[in-house]
Structure 1
Amino acid sequence: MDEADIVDKDPTGRYIRYGDVLGRGAFKTVYKAFDQVQGIEVAWNLTSIEDVLQMPGQLERLYSEVHLLKALKHDNIIKLFYSWVDDHNKTINMITELFTSGSLRVYRMKHRKVDPKAINNWARQILKGLHYLHSHTPPVIHRDLKCDNIFVNGNTGEVKIGDLGLAAVLQQPIARSVIGTPEFMAPELYEEEYNELVDIYSFGMCMLEMVTCEYPYSECRNPAQIYKKVTSGIKPQSLAKVDDPQVKQFIEKCLLPAPCRPTALELLKEQLLAVDGAKDSGLTASSNTTFNPTKPPQSEPRPMDVDHKENTSVSICSSGKSSHEYTWLQTIEIQRVAENTQFRLSGERRDDVTASMALHIADLSGEARKVDFDFYLKTDTARAVTGEMVEELDLSSQEVIVISELIDELIMKLKANEEAGDSMKSDISVEYYYPVVSSNEAEESLLASFLDSCSMVSNERSEDLKTELNVIESQYNQSFQHLVRLREEAIDKAKRKWATLPNAHKLL
């Protein structure tokens, strides 16, 4: 291609984008691009910030994917070469490996006659990638593993796991939040108490699809039917089409209840996946690695986090909510001017232990520095976190002091915002505020609405509707109980805080 075919260049001038579209998603368009330094073709993933902001949670998902990909280094995890935010065009850009053969699902549908050895080879690579994710401390759970999110290089047979936008770092032994693709979701995901073994269940469904070329639970008409079968322990009909008893047994092991389900490493040791005369040297990587995706080693550049551009009209720093737990807490922003430099720090709670923050520094010349980071409330200190920014942002000693004070102030405001939860009702959207009622009253009200809804449909479809309503009821009750618990904890914290102040007995 000549110079006229070049559509865009990255800020460093290393990567050039052509007009050839390799694929489109709901928010992302993937273009063919070229790395002039390495002399290789790459994929340029371009996402419009304005489009993403139309759907709640999508910006968080995309940003999470960027952070994870920058921190993960493994032969079976898709590589991220470079990323940045284009404030002028309001886009988020990622340069990743190019997979011209597409997803494993598309590749398998295109090539239906495949020897079992090839499928086993794909399975080994997927499990190696999962073992790498699960071996981190804390583990990384993909949560949406499926053949659509696994990519293949048709020339080499190389397989890599991608689309880590739903992935979660497992800070607690049991993760919470219902998320994923119904056909591939483990039963415990619906109960919102699960660990990294949900990925093994999803892998079993991927294996089933690779063997049969059939999407799991294709016999179901809607997600409600899938939910009913999964939670009842009913396997997909396509499992009966697996002729090889050893393969069928292997898949069934992946679909066992969580306490009995094998790990990725245990599956790699299965006879089905054994490689004659070959030692697997890729299974010991990072078994004791302490993983923090938002704080990569200081020696690595972080162009997605730190932006030295002059145009600062667009910032994606305010996104940070995780799951559905803190949707009622608002972003807080504080500002300060010192030595002709403006400091702006915004942040919001992500969960019980994490606050997501965005720092913007601008001087009189118009040059700006920006960084996104997570603050772990139980372990981090303002000075320690600021110290990690010194080299990347070229901070002076005075700037370190100012930023540390801003972080401390923001943490205090975020905690006060949480502790004053009862007084925040006027700021809470009506769709997120529920009056306090007894569990019996809630059940009677929901049951009445179920009966009214079911009476509006035919008997043939009423069972599906009841099942779907049961899912909604379960999710509502869990969210409601969580909010009640947060309210009680916030009131208790507020009382304890004010009790330590002078003349507290007059206030209480």
Structure 2
Amino acid sequence: AIESERNLCRLRHPNIVRFLHIAQPELATVVVFMELLDGRSLERFIDNKPLDELTIRDFSEQICRALLYLHSRQPPVIHRDINCLNIIVCSDNTQIKLIDFGLSIKLEQSVSHISASTKSPKGTLNFMAPELLGAGESDSVQYSRESDIWAFGCLIFQMASGGRPFANAKSLLEMAQLIDRRGAPALPDGRSAELRDFYSRCTAKDCRKRRSAEELLEHEFLRGGKLKKGFLSSLLAARK
């Protein structure tokens, strides 16, 4: 567990909370020093009200960059509990930080996809990928980069709708049945075609059809945001 926490201390990314130092003052005591964040969770920021599409685009790009960093490491870091409570919107209301890397459970299970398989799924019910709910052939739950991407898609749903996906599901079985019958819930009316397509590429029932964080960063939904930001910057500069 201590070595796993040391691995987390090596993470360096502007959209990931910093793990600063680990200490073991006593044999059975481990203390982790972390970056102090001033802000609120994305869940509180949303506050049951849909976000505008520019904000969804900005936050989604930052989360994608954090996931690309984690998933590209050797071994890959699988977060396993992507949800709106584990995203902090900093006090400037523009930068976000991914937090909570499973420190309340066995850390070695959250460090790589190889050792992240368990007999029963861990995480937040509404954000669990289909393959974590008994759809796989293995006796153990297989966590992967793709299960993080599904959870990211569920997070997009909450930003776009104001509420958690599958909000009425009360058990793993009920969740599995809902996903099996309907797939991921549809985004509300009024959202752009680009956002709908981006969301669908995160929430394919077949994990092999989900896009990687790297591919998602090249999607029109996020690239369009960059072009608009660049246009606005040029416009402001011209006015000055």
Alignment TM-score, normalising by the size of structure 1: 0.38
Among candidates 23, 47, 60, match of residue 109 of structure 1: 47
Aligned residues of 2:60 and 2:156 also touching (Cα < 8 A): yes
Aligned: 1:67 with 2:6: yes
Question: Which residue pairs with 1:179 in the alignment?
Answer: 122
Which residue number corresponds to residue 167 of structure 1?
Answer: 110
Shift of 1:242: 4.5
CA contact (8 A) 2:160 2:188 kept: no
**Deviating runs (4+, > 6 A) in structure 1?**
none
Query: Structure 1 residues 65 and 76 mapped into 2: Cα distance closer, same or farther (>3 Å)?
Result: farther
Is 1:98 the counterpart of 2:49? The answer is no
CA distance in 1 between partners of 2:122 and 2:199 (Å) = 22
Contact 2:75 2:111 in 1 (8 A): no
User: Any idea what SS the aligned residue of 2:227 has?
Assistant: coil
Determine the structure 2 residue equivalent to 1:208.
157
Q: Which residue number corresponds to residue 90 of structure 2?
A: 153
Partners of 2:3 and 2:123 in 1: CA distance: 15
Is residue 134 from structure 1 mapped to residue 75 from structure 2 by the alignment? no
- Report the alpha carbon displacement of residue 180 of structure 1 after superposing the two structures with TM: 2.1
Superposed CA offset, 1:82-127 (max 9, x none): 3323439x754333222232211112218x3643111111100000
C-alpha separation in 1, matches of 2:117 and 2:213: 21
Secondary structure of residue in 1 paired with 2:168: coil
Unaligned runs of 5+ in 1: 1-59, 280-508
Closer, same or farther: CA 92–187 of 1 in aligned 2, 3 Å:
same
Q: Are residues 1:77 and 2:16 paired?
A: yes
Give secondary structure in 2 for the equivalent of 1:167. Answer: helix
Closer/same/farther in 2, CA of residues 96 and 226 from structure 1, 3 Å limit: same
The within-5 A match list for 1:307-326 is: none
| Contact 2:52 2:160 survives alignment (8 Å) | no
Residue 218 of structure 2 aligns with an amino acid whose one-letter code is K
SS at match of 2:47: helix
- After superposition, residues 225-264 of structure 1 pair within 5 angstroms as 225-230=174-179, 232=180, 234-235=182-183, 237=185, 239-244=186-191, 245-256=193-204, 257-264=206-213
In structure 2, how many angstroms separate the alpha carbons of the residues matched to 1:147 and 1:156?
15
CA distance in 1, matches of 2:189, 2:73: 34
Pairwise CA distance, 1:162 = 1.2
For the structure 1 residues 113 and 171, does the alpha-carbon distance in structure 2 shift closer, same or farther, using more than 3 Å as the test?
closer
Displacement after TM superposition at 1:156 (Å): 5.0
Q: Kindly indicate which of the two structures has a greater share of residues assigned to strand.
A: 1
Inter-CA distance 242–98: structure 2 relative to 1 (3 Å threshold): farther
Given the superposition, is the C-alpha separation of residues 278 and 180 from structure 1 closer, same or farther in structure 2, using an over 3 Å criterion? Answer: same
Q: State the match for 1:197 in structure 2.
A: 146
Which TM-score applies when normalising by structure 2? 0.77
Query: Using the alignment, how far apart are the partners of 1:180 and 1:64 within structure 2?
Result: 22
Counterpart secondary structure, 1:95: strand
Higher RCO (CA 8 Å, separation ≥ 6 residues): 2
1:23-73 deviations in whole A, cap 9, x for unaligned? xxxxxxxxxxxxxxxxxxxxxxxxxxxxxxxxxxxxx5xx57733320211
Assess if the C-alpha contact under 8 Å between 2:67 and 2:213 holds in 1.
Answer: yes
Question: Relative to 1, partners in 2 of residues 1:65 and 1:118: Cα closer, same or farther, differing over 3 Å?
Answer: farther
Matches within 5 A, 1:383-422: none
Secondary structure at 2:40 match in 1: coil
Give a deviation string over 1:237-268, Cα, whole Å, max 9, x none: 5x352531332222121111111111001111
Residues 208 and 113 (structure 1), Cα distance of their counterparts in 2 relative to 1, 3 Å cut = closer
Q: Cα RMSD (Å) of the superposition?
A: 2.6
Q: 2:227 aligns with which of 276, 281, 291?
A: 276
Structure-2 residue corresponding to 1:4: none
> Aligned partners of 1:96 and 1:133: how far apart in 2?
18
SS at the partner of 1:241?
coil
Q: Distance in 1 between matches of 2:160 and 2:20?
A: 33
Is residue 146–residue 203 contact of structure 1 (8 Å, CA) maintained in 2?
A: yes
> Relative to 1, partners in 2 of residues 1:246 and 1:77: Cα closer, same or farther, differing over 3 Å?
same
Considering fraction of residues, name the structure with more helix.
2
Change (3 A) 1:127 1:217: same
Q: How many residues align?
A: 212
Q: Residues 221 and 169 from structure 1, CA distance in 2 versus in 1: closer, same or farther, beyond 3 angstroms?
A: closer
**What amino acid is the match of 1:276?**
L
Asked if structure 1 preserves the Cα contact closer than 8 Å seen for 2:19 and 2:35, the reply is yes
CA distance in 2, matches of 1:151, 1:113: 17
